Structure 1
Amino acid sequence: MKRLLASFLFSVLFLSLISTSYAKDNSWERVKSKGILVIGLDDAFPPMGFRKADGTLTGFDIEAAETLGKRLGIKIKWQPTAWDGVIHSLYAKKFDCIWNGMTITPERAKKVNFTKPYIMDGQVVVVRFNENKIKTFKDLKSAIIGVQKGSSAVEAVKKLPVSPQEIREYDSNPKAFLDLEAGRLDAMVVDNVAGRYYISVRPGKYKILPGFITKEPFGVAFRKEDKELLKVIQSEIDKMVADGTMAKISVKWFGEDITNPKKW
């Protein structure tokens, strides 16, 4: 009797494991049936995603994702979220993916699945335009440096050749730029695309020091179990790169095509 019971329980467990392992991934069907792809973002990250004066969202990622949505026949719904908890919010199912200049790192890749890189970015140092004492990374010794909380700048600042006096974390890059302009910071470590955007909209206020601290690819992040959704989005991004759609959007926001892997 015990052997029969043990054999029965083993069979039930085995069949349960088999059915679980072969469970259908309906992530794309779920999005397709609703007709809406919900995307998480930091809505204060120019030029990737930010709000205009009237409150509407704009930016490279906004335009790229909404173009993709039209091509797939679905609507895009944007869900602003705190960046330092963005992966937690993804798994809490507040949105379907994260599309917002998210750097692909080994640590993040343990928690989410990424598309292939769609932009190659990097971390740079921004100082005030009239700053004469800080000309290279080595001049940042004893400086007060600002970074965005939860961003890859937090780790990048640790890779500088000298140790700053203090590292201040901010909820958003705009707040840090305001402190830099006001003299409360000596420098900022920030994504190259964000730094160059702020320089373009505030001419004569900031400049970028020569060189990159790191080179970092941007990817769209999905929950580990949502492989079919990732597959569909990746396929459409590939088509947008091949037919020049991504290049056109890139030139609009960055003045050049930084989406073509052949140029990286």
Structure 2
Amino acid sequence: MKKWLRWALIALLALVAVSASGCARRAEKNSWPRIKQTQKVVIGLDDSFVPMGFREKNGNLKGFDIDLAKAVFKLYGVKPDFQSIEWSMKETELKNQTIDLIWNGYSKTPEREKQVAFSDDYLVNHQLLVTKTKDNIHTYADMRGKTLGVQTGSSGAAALDSEPKLLKQYIKGQDPVLYDTFTNAFLDLNAGRIQGIFMDEVYARYYVAHQKDPQSYQILTSKGFESEAFAVGMRKSDTQLQAKINQGFKTLEQNGTMAKLKHKWFGTGAE
């Protein structure tokens, strides 16, 4: 066989193998056998969500969810592969099997439960209104005619829509400004382009505490909005993967790892 023909045949066989592998990946219902065999699980996240999962200046990922995911899968000899995704497309990424899990301060809601399966809860979160102290906003009604920011696809955005009479009715145009990340929302808040951010407590308190002047921010605890449970999202067919994660949480609770991680990232009082 001529050399060029041999290499052409090798390339063709490789292409067929990759194509077949891709089809099998898309049709996969139970991910755990592949995850266990390859020792890799793909986790989708918004890599700007401090302190759950975010990038340092050097590009390294860190955060509570990063540490927790590593601790859970270390029990099974599996290494998490964290993939940055567009947060508003998270369920689509999961459905298309480009990721195996959504694990990044992902709130369990009835609407989301229609699309994905959830692990057991591992953290309780609340929605907070963050403003600048100088604006003297002490109630939701004080936001009347003012501009509010929320993250696109966030649980805060969903809460605003589900309970419009609590806060949404007061804001300018009765419609918030949407941001890809909370970081961009804070840039506009600090610049005075918006007067409030409705957002997750875990990020709000971490962000404010790490500013040069924390007293320049006012945090209004949510009234009327239900608290949220953080959990891991996965395809409904992945019952075996779901069981492994739930068992991992139980093990980490029992050996004290869960408590240590919560204290590391949130201090005392984390639920």
TM-score, length-scaled by structure 1: 0.85
Shift of 1:211: 3.7
SS at match of 1:233: helix
2:36 and 2:190 mapped to 1: Cα distance?
Answer: 46
Which residue pairs with 1:194 in the alignment? 203
Aligned residues: 235
Equivalent residue, structure 2, for 1:30:
34
Q: Percent identity?
A: 40
Distance in 1 separating the partners of 2:32 and 2:270: 28
Query: What is aligned with 1:164?
Result: 171
Is the contact between residue 126 and residue 222 of structure 2 (CA under 8 Å) also seen in structure 1? no
Task: Please say if 1:41 is aligned against 2:45.
Answer: yes
Give CA deviations for 1:199-249 in whole Å, capped at 9, x if unaligned.
Answer: 011134422114443311111001011111111111111211222211100
Deviation at 1:32, TM superposition (A): 0.3
Q: What is the root-mean-square deviation in Å for CA atoms of aligned residues?
A: 1.6
Hey, what does 1:10 align to over in structure 2? none
Q: Does 1:254 align with 2:266?
A: yes
Which deviations, in whole Å up to 9, do the C-alpha atoms of 1:156-211 show, x marking residues without a partner?
23432542114100001100011001100110000011100110111344221144
Q: Which amino acid aligns with 2:182?
A: N
2:3 counterpart residue number: none
Structure 1 equivalent of residue 158 of structure 2: 155
1:139 match: 142
Q: Which residue of 1 aligns with 2:217?
A: 206
Preserved contact between residue 30 and residue 239 of structure 2 (Cα < 8 Å): no
**1:51 aligned residue:** 55
Q: Give the letter for the 1:140 counterpart.
A: M
* Residue 60 (structure 1) aligns with: 64
Q: Which has the higher strand share?
A: 1
Structure 2 unaligned regions, length at least 5: 1-27
Q: Which runs of 5+ in 1 are unaligned?
A: 1-23, 260-264
Instruction: Name the counterpart of 1:124.
Output: 128
- In the alignment, the residues of structure 2 paired with residue 26 and residue 144 of structure 1 have an alpha-carbon distance, to the nearest angstrom, of 45
For residue 25 of structure 2, what is the aligned residue in structure 1? none
Equivalent position of 1:241 in the other structure: 253
